[in-house]
């Protein structure tokens, strides 16, 4: 059953940002293999046009990444759905950590599915804008932190799931350490030759099980604060 958090009705939009437009996007995601109805419901309810610049709102429900400034992008809806579905597979997380708040769209989807979402962003301007968006759509179970994502959020660990929205050569050890036993971390990992693969790492009693979810393209995971 979907979590009880709901987007404010006034955020639904009209025309190219209407609920009907959103529903057509969700059908495309279903056709591409997204099966978790909880995830599809959350994307249908999330006003993606509220998480992009107004000039791009007419393109908000295309299944494509869009620029959000600061050399960052809002992720393709299919990838948001795929990563969210992977985190929810086999259980109902209570507390999720997101590395890379960006536009806030991924956190907004997660916030409708789990009681608490903790999200970390290293670019102050993006984080301030995302906070305003969370308030505007009525999501108050998202907790934000301005910090280097490599460090995670140790004072709130352990987490039932971690999602990383930027690509690194390997998952930072600090993030693996903050994952609860049985929980999963989903992240794009750089391969030799510059390609990226979306990986799911599930923590076991002694190690991590690894699953490949396919080819992706993400911005690089960088350190430091801006």
Active site residues: 75
Q: Measured between alpha carbons, how far is 62 from 50 in angstroms, rounded to an integer?
A: 14
Angstrom CA distances, 101 to 9, 95, 109, 144, 206, stand at: 23, 16, 12, 8, 30
How many CA within 13 A on the CB side of residue 26? Answer: 21
In the chain, DSSP assigns E strands to 66-69, 72-74, 95-99, 116-121, 142-146, 159-164, 179-190, 196-203, 208-216
Nearest to 104 by CA among 62, 136, 56: 136
Contact between 24 and 62 under an 8 Å Cβ cutoff? The reply is no
């Amino acid at each position: 059953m979907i979590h009880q958090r709901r987007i404010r009705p006034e955020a639904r939009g009209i025309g190219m940002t209407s609920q009907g437009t959103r529903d057509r996007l969700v059908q495309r995601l279903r056709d591409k293999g997204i099966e978790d109805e909880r995830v599809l419901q959350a994307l249908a309810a999330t006003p993606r046009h509220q998480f992009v610049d107004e000039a791009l709102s007419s393109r908000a429900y295309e299944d494509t990444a869009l620029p959000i400034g600061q050399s960052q992008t809002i992720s393709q809806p299919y990838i948001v759905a795929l990563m969210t579905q992977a985190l929810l597979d086999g259980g109902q997380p209570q507390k999720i950590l997101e590395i890379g708040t960006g536009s806030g769209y991924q956190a907004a989807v997660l916030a409708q599915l789990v009681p608490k979402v903790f999200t970390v962003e290293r670019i102050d301007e993006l984080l301030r804008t995302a906070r305003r968006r969370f308030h505007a759509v009525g999501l108050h179970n998202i907790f934000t932190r301005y910090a280097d994502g490599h460090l995670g959020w140790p004072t709130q660990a352990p987490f039932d799931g971690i999602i990383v929205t930027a690509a690194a050569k390997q998952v930072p050890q600090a993030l693996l350490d903050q994952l609860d036993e049985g929980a999963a971390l989903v992240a794009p990992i750089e391969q030799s030759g510059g390609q990226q693969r979306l990986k799911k790492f599930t923590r076991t009693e002694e190690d991590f099980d690894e699953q490949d979810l396919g080819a992706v393209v993400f911005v690089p995971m960088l350190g430091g604060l801006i």
